[in-house]
């Protein structure tokens, strides 16, 4: 170990920064964040330093460095671009026993400054001992994404309860076990999702049980509705990943890929509630009731859904059931199919001058006997991009509704099958040829129809998976939709 790691308490302690440039400004700002009282010695000050001096946050004590400026300082940072000044600061500080850091000159440093991940009061410091600062920074970035932002709130919660817990559980071993289960368990979940009052109540109860003054066991679990993203595993959010690794029970759908299921905590129970067409096995109602029951049994439950849980995911009904049963819940958004398909097919859902709105709808609602759109509808606005979910078996009726609504039969349509997955296919057609093209190319679920001028851009913007298939009835490749709209505007 080349350096001895410490965390310094610099509250109200005098520290000196020699230098007035941008680097000096960064160093001064970090020292000030730790509560130090910062003095600056430099002939010229960078704008943020002069502002801080004018505001009284730092003191500008000298234009030029002199050894007597070190008197009474806890530490000094030399950040000038004059190496001889830096060397003098280092030598003088060593002689006086003041801790010194010279920026970018490790040989002159008595202390070095680590990369940090700040989740105050939790602070992680990373150092490569000066050997590979860039590597230290990369490690920091990984920790940044791993350590959830709420870990600070959790530490403050533990701090708030610390003396109560110490009183109630004088035995060190029992106390440690209690704290561990607290920080891993349901109370931590509640804190992470902002249910502080509920976490306090839970802790109160648990503390009573553990200290033997009662034996109520009314701990309820929680449910997170988690979007897995549409497409492959890389579209999972960090929040979703954390939930999968925390869960006791996971209820998942057909549209969730096996790669994502692999990320679930090993000893969690997995329940497949995929509702296959015609199967009466898992009605929405029975799924909602199952969520409630599992949570009431004290489990941390994850309801994992393809795409986003609140876009044609029936998450709203599940929330209703949870709310009525008084179960704590959280919702983690996911990349919905419209976004995943558009991105991977190279289709801008809105495009300046071409499409100014996006309308997500389900082709199912257009089924004969189903609730029909009433006029005026977004279906007839040529500058609205339409995205139809769940439409594979309904393409003829989708075509008819669009034509009824007055959309031009030549309007481009992109059928995106398995969007965002390696086996993705994109078929560019138009309203008139929509149903025939789907039959000819045997489009199957899951697939999405994107309707509007922007859909044809898939032909030019291909970047992912197999090249798009051009199945328009009139193939006019001379003018791209952008060129057309520009020509119209002119």
Contact call for residue 299 and ligand SAH (CB under 6 A):
no
For the bound state, the minimum distance from the C-beta of residue 341 to ligand SAH, rounded and expressed in Å, comes to: 5
Pick one of 17, 202, 255, 327: the residue that binds ligand SAH (CB under 6 A): 255
Which residue lies nearest ligand SAH, judged by its C-beta?
307
# residues near ligand SAH by CB under 6 A: 25
* Candidates 275, 400, 436, 470; catalytic one: 275
* Whole-number Å distance between alpha carbons of 269 and 438: 39
- Beta carbons within 10 angstroms of residue 172's beta carbon: 9
- Which residues partner with 307 through β-bridges? 229
For the bound state, the minimum distance from the C-beta of residue 329 to ligand SAH, rounded and expressed in Å, comes to: 17
Sites for ligand SAH among residues 25-84 (CB under 6 A): none
Q: CB under 8 Å to 227, separation ≥6 — which residues?
A: 237, 240, 305, 306, 307, 308, 309, 313, 332, 333, 334, 335, 336
Pick one of 52, 448, 458, 482: the residue that binds ligand SAH (CB under 6 A): 448
Residue 253 annotated in active site: yes
Pick one of 19, 114, 231, 412: the residue that binds ligand SAH (CB under 6 A): 231
**Rounded to the nearest 5 degrees, what angle is found at the Cα of 156, between the Cα atoms of 151 and 157?**
95
User: What is the C-alpha radius of gyration for the chain, rounded to an integer number of angstroms?
Assistant: 31
Closer of 221 and 419 to ligand SAH (Cβ): 419
For the bound state, the minimum distance from the C-beta of residue 4 to ligand SAH, rounded and expressed in Å, comes to: 52
For the bound state, the minimum distance from the C-beta of residue 282 to ligand SAH, rounded and expressed in Å, comes to: 15
* Whole-number Å distance between alpha carbons of 140 and 52: 28
**Is residue 330 within 8 Å of 251, Cβ to Cβ?**
no
Contact call for residue 221 and ligand SAH (CB under 6 A):
no
Sites for ligand SAH among residues 380-439 (CB under 6 A): 389-390, 416, 418-421
Please give the torsion angle defined by the CA atoms of residues 228, 233, 238 and 241, in that order, rounded to the nearest 10 degrees: 70
Q: CB under 8 Å to 301, separation ≥6 — which residues?
A: 221, 222, 223, 224, 247, 248, 249, 250, 251, 291, 294, 295
Closer of 51 and 444 to ligand SAH (Cβ): 444
| Alpha-helical segments (H) within 65-147 | 83-96, 133-146
Contact call for residue 446 and ligand SAH (CB under 6 A):
yes
Dihedrals phi, psi of 272, to nearest 5 degrees: -85, 110
Pick one of 248, 308, 318, 381: the residue that binds ligand SAH (CB under 6 A): 308
For the bound state, the minimum distance from the C-beta of residue 338 to ligand SAH, rounded and expressed in Å, comes to: 7
Sites for ligand SAH among residues 316-345 (CB under 6 A): 336-337, 340-341
384 to 65, 394, 452, 459: CA distances (angstroms): 65, 21, 7, 20
* Whole-number Å distance between alpha carbons of 257 and 373: 33
* Candidates 253, 308, 381, 430; catalytic one: 253
**Footprint on this chain of ligand SAH (rule: CB under 6 A):** 230-231, 255, 305-308, 311-313, 336-337, 340-341, 389-390, 416, 418-421, 445-448
Catalytic residues: 253, 275
């Amino acid at each position: 170990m080349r350096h001895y790691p410490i965390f310094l308490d610099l509250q109200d302690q005098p520290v000196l920064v020699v230098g007035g440039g941008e680097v000096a400004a960064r160093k001064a700002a970090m020292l000030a964040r730790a509560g130090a009282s910062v003095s600056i010695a430099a002939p010229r000050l960078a704008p943020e330093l002069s502002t801080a001096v004018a505001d009284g946050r730092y003191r500008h004590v000298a234009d030029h460095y002199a050894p007597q400026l070190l008197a009474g300082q806890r530490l000094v940072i030399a950040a000038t671009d004059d190496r001889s000044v830096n060397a003098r600061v280092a030598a003088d500080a060593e002689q006086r026993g003041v801790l010194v850091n010279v920026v970018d000159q490790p040989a002159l440093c008595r202390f070095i400054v680590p990369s940090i991940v700040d989740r105050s009061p939790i602070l992680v410091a990373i150092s490569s001992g000066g050997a590979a600062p860039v590597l230290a920074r990369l490690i920091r970035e990984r920790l940044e994404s791993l350590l959830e932002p709420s870990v600070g709130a959790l530490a403050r919660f533990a701090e708030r309860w610390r003396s109560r817990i110490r009183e109630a559980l004088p035995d060190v071993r029992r106390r440690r076990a209690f704290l561990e289960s607290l920080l891993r368990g349901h109370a931590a979940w509640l804190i992470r999702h902002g249910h502080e009052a509920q976490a306090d109540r839970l802790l109160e109860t648990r503390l009573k049980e553990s200290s033997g003054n009662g034996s109520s066991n009314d701990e309820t679990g929680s449910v997170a509705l988690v979007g897995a993203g549409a497409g492959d595993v890389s579209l999972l959010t960090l929040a979703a990943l954390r939930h999968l690794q925390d869960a006791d029970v996971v209820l998942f759908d057909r549209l969730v890929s096996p790669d994502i299921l692999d990320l679930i905590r090993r000893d969690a129970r997995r329940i497949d509630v995929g509702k296959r067409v015609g199967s009466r096995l898992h009605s929405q109602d029975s799924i909602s009731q199952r969520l409630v029951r599992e949570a009431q049994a004290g489990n941390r439950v994850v309801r994992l859904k393809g795409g986003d849980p609140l876009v044609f995911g029936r998450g709203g009904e599940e929330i209703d059931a949870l709310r009525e049963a008084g179960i704590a819940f959280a919702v983690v958004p996911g990349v919905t199919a419209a976004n995943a398909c558009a991105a991977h097919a190279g289709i801008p859902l809105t495009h300046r001058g071409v499409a100014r709105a996006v309308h997500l709808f389900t082709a199912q609602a257009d089924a004969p006997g189903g609730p029909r759109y009433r006029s005026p509808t977004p279906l007839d606005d040529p500058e609205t991009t339409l995205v139809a979910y769940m439409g594979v078996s309904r393409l003829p009726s989708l075509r008819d509704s669009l034509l009824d609504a007055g959309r031009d039969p030549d309007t481009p349509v992109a059928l995106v099958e398995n969007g965002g997955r390696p086996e993705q296919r994109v078929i560019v057609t138009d309203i008139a040829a929509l149903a025939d093209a789907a039959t000819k190319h045997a489009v199957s679920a899951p697939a999405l129809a994107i309707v509007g001028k922007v859909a044809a851009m898939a032909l030019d913007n291909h970047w992912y998976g197999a090249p798009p298939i051009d199945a328009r009835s009139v193939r006019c490749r001379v003018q791209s939709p952008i060129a057309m709209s520009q020509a119209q505007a002119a």
